[in-house]
Structure 1
């Protein structure tokens, strides 16, 4: 078994070491532009450049080492349709995402930003508390990671909503589906958590029209992709008071440019795309197990539906 490995973060040595440890029967080849390689069975990639496309057409499957596959699907028909794309199922990202989102929800619910501002001003003053019954949390997307987040939030007894492209069921969650269910979902959501895959249909999904459907004083958390959110529209609605604030981990341009107005808006909390890091050891273990199954002629979970985009 030969594996073609590509990384865009200069961490290839650690990935190679883990593959040698967890899949010792495989030969690991690191991809470099302009280099020539003997045919490989599988490719493991993270944000591959267009120059890698010829090599990706020759493998039996491509494994993506992130939660989203938009960096691959952007190549369209240039990425051979006969080569399966395999995404990570969780690999330790679910618990990280649950931690991040739960913290953001609780921070807003308990008004900790307000108390920190009072503390800096030397003000000792209890503030009116939110009523949990009037604080429904809605999650856009109901995949593996979203389900983990909803299960974590359930422990705090928030009213929970979930929206997905097709109808889903999850205990304790009021589920909505399809375009016809999206407006009702938004109109019944106080804290909106975006965890959708980025597809042509979800690009700019959170624009002024849809964000205005949220309950007054809503709060927005985006841990998916920056292109889901119309950034100027969010700013407008925060400044108008319809949206109370936001916690944003992803942006259209990363790193977020210093001149971006988000930096100057105190009601927006910014983090540098850290809500759920890829855990290398867990990811390699999952990929290695799937490679062994494919090599034995068995099926694996996590095959991307290219038409749906996830």
Structure 2
């Protein structure tokens, strides 16, 4: 009998208990899933950063900590966490992100806001969008989420450049890496999508300097992490017209404070961290597979590199 501790916010238990129990059974695992296992009893922890477990030191028999979130920046530096930490790479979450990113790229590409908001009797037929092939898109971060979004946009005809810290090869994308590659990826980009993890190296990757490299009137879309953008630099670029619009789903502080300038800025769209949410049914299958692999002596999926931070 395996004992799996569920450590997330209390209301998540009602969402996950049945999908996890079902997924464990289908994986051939005999599991006692509970919110109340003692540390010494716990074989695995299903973890969210908003759950009760903060100190992992007592969990001396725990074989792995399995995150329900894609991002692990709030836990990866926890000095008590010595067990393997696995982030969530979930097809349901990936599809949600692809749909959100594709929708907002198309929204900006087609100039939809002018017609959606301009219901004032004025026939605005003076400007028509170019074809997708004439609209270069850059995605900063081409892990599982960024690669999937980039391939979806490439399928629609956009020329997509993907940038990562280390070399990668994603079909249908021009892949660049490193500092020189970042300059090249941003140069002339008309739409930039941020899907990087939050690390010391990626903080403020969109600064005044990097925003100035983009095509004048470009759009920024950030469903990644709030600290990827220097907020003051973005506001200045919006005010100058260097950036035409920013659609932001993530922020340094969430919920975004009511007095934050983003709320009132006419060239900013705020969405409440909804770009991609974890789906219990699909996430539970990933969790169960990792437990199955652990019990079979196989490598865990999506183990976090503590030095890289993701």
Same fold (TM over 0.5): yes
Equivalent residue runs for 1:38-77 within 5 Å: 38-47=40-49, 48=51, 51-56=54-59, 58-75=61-78, 77=79
**Structure-2 residue corresponding to 1:23:** 24
Deviations 1:25-82 (A, max 9, x none): 1111215xxx84442111111114564433455411110111111121142x3322xx
Q: Deviations over 1:165-209 (max 9, x none)?
A: 111122221111011211111113110000001111011211111
- Name the residue aligned to 1:130: 129
Instruction: Report the CA distance shift for 1:241/1:103 in structure 2 as closer, same or farther (over 3 A).
Output: same
Match of 2:176?
Answer: 176
CA distance, structure 2, for counterparts of residue 268 and residue 43 of structure 1? 39
Q: Quote the RMSD (CA, aligned, Å).
A: 1.7
Q: Is 1:96 aligned to residue 61 of structure 2?
A: no
Distance 1:223 1:183 in 2: 21
Residue matched to 1:166:
166
CA shift for structure 1 position 229: 1.0
Q: Is the 8 A contact 1:57 1:79 kept in 2?
A: no
* 1:197-212 equivalences in 2 (<5 Å): 197-212=197-212
Give SS of 2:74's match: helix
How far apart in 2 are the matches of 1:184 and 1:116? 34
Summarize the Cα distance change of 1:259–1:94 in structure 2 as closer, same or farther, 3 Å threshold: same
TM-score, reference length from structure 2: 0.92
Tell me the SS of whatever aligns to 2:11. Answer: coil
Q: Distance in 2 between matches of 1:196 and 1:178?
A: 13
Q: Deviation of residue 286 (structure 1)?
A: 1.2
Q: 2:33 is paired with a residue of what secondary structure?
A: strand
For structure 1, list consecutive stretches of 5 or more residues without a partner in the other structure. none
Residue 293 (structure 1) aligns with: 293
| 2:16/2:280 contact within 8 Å kept | yes
Using CA pairs below 8 Å that are at least 6 residues apart, which structure has the higher relative contact order?
2
User: Unpaired runs of 5+ in structure 2?
Assistant: none
